[in-house]
A and B are shown apart, each in its own frame.
Chain A
Amino acid sequence: MEPLLAVVVGGLFASGLYMILRRSIVKLLIGLVLLSNAANLVIFVTAGLRRGVPPLVPEGASAPLHTVADPLPQALVLTAIVISFGVLAFAMVLVHRTHQMVETDDINDLTSTDS
């Protein structure tokens, strides 16, 4: 399963990088979405895709009895997803606002910031 996910991560990174090199600002944003999803997937895969039971400690014991799934990457990826969701929502509003102002989708028209 891991090699397959590695290929998926690679594909996401490649397409994300391609998209952020485009001139259209909307495509740039899509590129960022792809890149952040690729990064999240990397976090998820780093722990290894093993079958394991939830990391619950039974009553009376001080450690889980069976092999448990590593809970940390799941917590990390959840946090990372929430953050990227918030950031991208904000970026979308900002792009929309820019579009209203400069009435263009071309990143080259944004280079002049001396207004």
Chain B
Amino acid sequence: MDLSLHPHWTVWCIVVPLLAGGLAVLVPRWGKTIGLIGAVLTLIVVGGATLQLLSHGPQRIEIGSWGAPLGIQLQLDGPALMMLWTTALVSLPITVYARDYFQTPQQQIRFWPLWLLLWSTMNMLYLSADLFNLYITLELLSFVSVVLVALAGPNAVRAAIRYLLMNLLGSLGFLLAVALMYGAYGMLDINMLAEQVEATPLTGLALALMSIGLLVKSALFPLHVWLPPAHAGAPAPVSAVLSALVVKASFYLLLLLWLTLYSPLVTRELTTLVGLLGIGAILWGSLQALRASRLKQLVAYSTVAQLGYIGLAITLIDVAAWQPVLTFIIAHACAKGAMFLAAGNFQRAAGHDRMALISAALRALPVSVFAFALAGISLIGLPPSGGFLAKWLLLSAALDSGRWLIALALVGSGLLTALYVFRVLERAVRPGAALKPVGRVSPLMEWSALGLGLLAILLGFAGMWITQILAEWPV
């Protein structure tokens, strides 16, 4: 039987984690097992979707046989496939990590359904081709993320409420834009809209509302204020997935809409503005990371800075389109996941994550330090890591089109990144008394962090695949 002929792999990418999540609600005692099986199955299903794309090319699936413009379509193409794989590959180690991280049964019961629902929602976001459905996925995404942040206990409630309020405003902007688009064109399917969109003031307003809404959710400076407390205060696996995947999902959506739907309206001035915000994010995020008094805060501010790179990359979409941005998103997802998992290990061992006292924990957990260092190498952009590949693509696109300022910002910011990464690594080689461990860090927790770190490095060798997939199946 030719498996690739099976028409529903794309739908299963959404349904498998959703079903597993539902099952985890029904049988909370088996949450750990269901989580792992669900994660592995989702990976297999994404593999099936890849086979389908390889043999049949881009797919449009009409749910319930209702075609556009009335029905909702799912769409599988190159960029969506890359995001599906990134999510699956980053989520699997995080799943393994979370099995040992959450200690009380109460936390386990609450975590697993939400985690699988989050995964399903992200997959749905990558695959949707309908504006209103995209709004629903965005709303679900922020909703589930907020609950996951609040899992950390009473201290995280303040961070959670900030996160919720900012994201609600972002969704509201997106919803209004959807309403305006429907009012103007009478349809919501992205592909059909893309053929019709004209540069009218109304469409411009929709573009502005949608972009601001998505930038709030992607935490681009200066709309990032909700991110550091939420990502630093959440439980370690949740921080990892929020920083690695959730903020990228809304960036992916922004890119998709700008490249397809709004391409007549996206001018050089607009992309330059986003690029300037990106430079601001790199400077501000790096500076705050250098000043941070706690490890997880440092990593969270590093996310703010690294999201600035995506802003910079967006200035190059007219010459390079998807490739540099997606490569950067994938490289950063692996690296930041590894960093947060490692930081979670140090926090668990030391009972806190204060930078001043963390060095004993760093010395006690060499594998996690190695994972952190590998992730740091990718963030700085040293060869042969995934971060290097992404920066190389960005740099060559910037130089080819003669944008020296962007090239300069790219090179200079690598130094800033190195400063805050070494601020942590330097503490691992300080002499001092041995650690009296407060909590137990299981080997699996260390190795899953290392796995993600290795993935961030290995990605440097996968450049050809990314180029091929994007060249062969564009949106």
Instruction: Identify the A interface with B (CB < 8 A).
Output: 20, 25, 28, 32, 35-36, 39, 42-43, 45-47, 70, 72-73, 76, 79-80, 83, 86-87, 90-91, 94-95, 97-98, 101-102, 110, 112-115
Contacts and interface: CB of A to CB of B under 8 A. Distances in A.
A30 B169 CA distance: 13
**Most interface-central of B158, B172, B182 (chain A CB within 10 A):** B158
A105 to B, nearest CB: 12
B182 A91 contact: no
Contacts of A73: 182
Interface string B51-84: 0000000000000000000100000000000000
13 contacts: A32-B172, A43-B179, A46-B179, A46-B182, A47-B182, A76-B178, A76-B182, A98-B161, A101-B154, A113-B162, A113-B229, A113-B233, A114-B229
A46 B177 CA distance: 11
Interface of B: 70, 132, 135-136, 139, 143, 146-147, 150, 154-155, 157-162, 164-165, 168-169, 172, 175-176, 178-180, 182-183, 186, 188, 229, 233, 293-294, 297
Contacts of B150: 94
A39 B143 contact: no
B213 to A, nearest CB: 11
Contacts of B132: 76, 79
A64 to B, nearest CB: 13
A70 B187 CA distance: 11
B179 A87 contact: no
Contact of B168 (A87, A101, A113): A87
A12 to B, nearest CB: 12
Name B's interface SS: helix
A79 to B, nearest CB: 7
A8 B343 CA distance: 50
A110 B161 contact: yes
A112 B232 CA distance: 13
B458 to A, nearest CB: 36
A102 B182 CA distance: 43
Given A35-B172, A39-B175, A72 B182 contact: yes
8 A-B pairs closest in CB distance: A46-B183, A113-B229, A43-B179, A42-B179, A113-B159, A39-B175, A113-B158, A110-B158
B294 A94 contact: no
B190 to A, nearest CB: 15
B160 A94 contact: yes
A73 B161 CA distance: 31
Contact of B165 (A32, A45, A46): A32
A83 B165 contact: no
Given A101-B157, A113-B159, A94 B164 contact: yes
Contacts of A114: 229, 293-294, 297
Nearest to B167: A87
A59 to B, nearest CB: 20
Contacts of A25: 161
A91 B132 CA distance: 22
B142 to A, nearest CB: 9
B168 A94 contact: no
A115 B155 CA distance: 6
B373 to A, nearest CB: 26
B288 to A, nearest CB: 12
